Amino acid sequence: MTYKELYEFGKIKLAEAGIAEAALDARLLLEYICHTDRNELIVHAERERSDMEEQFYRVLIEKRASRIPLQHITGEQEFMGLCFKVNQHTLIPRQDTEILVEEALHRLGDGMRILDMCTGSGCILLSLLKYSNECEGIGIDISEKALAVARENAERLQLDAVFLEGDLFSPLEGFVSERTTDRLFDMIVSNPPYIETAVIETLMPEVRDHEPAAALDGREDGLYFYRRIIAQAPLHMRKGAHLLFEIGCGQGDMVMSLMREADFEQVGLFQDYAGLNRVVCGTKR
Ligand code: GLN
């Protein structure tokens, strides 16, 4: 079969399976298998592919049709222009989260100490380190398997970050930085689990069945981790340091109130590319 025939086949199969972005996913899987890009598929649409490639493509299309996320099939996701390894142990980096990174970069200066709470794949922390100078980056996650992904991403991107395992701030207790005796941070960023427990079963099968529930579940009202992080963060921040959260689009007012109650100043709310409330930030007084 030719590129074009394979693509048409994949598109129809995925559309039949109810995949929202059937055409896009069919193309990305074809590019992945043939180690090529969109241009080549267009310019050489009539080029014959090998039987091996065809078989492989059919297998991957079947997988995707069964609602396995595209990124779990290819093992990677682009975020902030960088390629991140992903698997079932971390949340797949979302484009919405780039807004958090952009807002953090506006506030980040050279040499600052950054903490990424609930780091997952490490995509937030590693992007901040990539696009800044001489910053020290520490990522914490409760999942050892997620941290293995984060460490692999740091290595692939050749970025120097420290990843610690534990429940929120607890692993900082015994931690000694190799770079400084300073224990306070200039910035804390976090995309914690924030979906209300009852909502999780209503999510797309790709998310509900294949992404780690522990990375999504913000307990009864979705705010469990914001409360805990906002209560403890000030102990780890210097005066004027920034705390930035990704939030669910309906959580802006609540998270801003929590931050004001904890005496943060310049508390602000920012929207994602879809115009939805997505980031809350504040500064330690
Ligand atoms: N934005 C993610 C989703 O909608 C959830 C991320 C999170 O809980 N931190 O699937």
Render pLDDT for 212-258 as a digit per residue (tens, 0 to 9).
999 999 999 999 999 999 999 999 999 999 999 999 999 999 999 99
Which residue's alpha carbon is at the smallest distance from atom 9 of ligand 1? Answer: 193
Tokens of 111: 């040499």
Report, in angstroms and rounded to the nearest whole number, the Rg of the chain calculated over CA atoms.
21
Question: Which residue matches tokens 């701030």?
Answer: 169
Q: Are 36 and 49 in contact (CB under 8 A)?
A: no
What would the pLDDT profile of 119-155 be if each residue is shown by its tens digit?
999 999 999 999 999 999 999 999 999 999 999 999 9
Q: Please give the pLDDT value at position 255.
A: 98
Tokens of 177: 């930085």
**Residues of the chain above pLDDT 70, percent:** 100
Q: Please give the pLDDT value at position 102.
A: 98
Q: What residue type is assigned to position 253 of the chain?
A: D
**Which of 71, 79, 91 to mutate for ligand 1's pocket (most ligand atoms within 8 Å of CB)?**
91
Average pLDDT over residues 84-112: 98
E-assigned strands of the chain? 76-79, 82-85, 113-117, 136-141, 161-165, 185-190, 237-246, 264-271, 277-284
Q: Say how many Å lie between the CA of residue 242 and the centre of ligand 1.
A: 22
**Which of 195, 206, 208, 210 to mutate for ligand 1's pocket (most ligand atoms within 8 Å of CB)?**
195
Question: Which residue matches tokens 């696009």?
Answer: 131
Tokens of 220: 């009864």
Tokens of 278: 């997505």
pTM greater than 0.85: yes
Q: Please give the pLDDT value at position 141.
A: 98
Ligand 1 site, CB within 6 A: 91, 94, 191-195, 207, 216
Residues 128-135: contacts with CB under 8 Å, at least 24 apart: 128/101, 128/104, 128/187, 128/189, 129/159, 129/160, 129/161, 130/80, 130/82, 130/157, 130/159, 131/80, 131/101, 131/105, 132/105, 132/108, 134/110, 135/108, 135/110, 135/111
CB atoms within 10 A of CB 184: 14
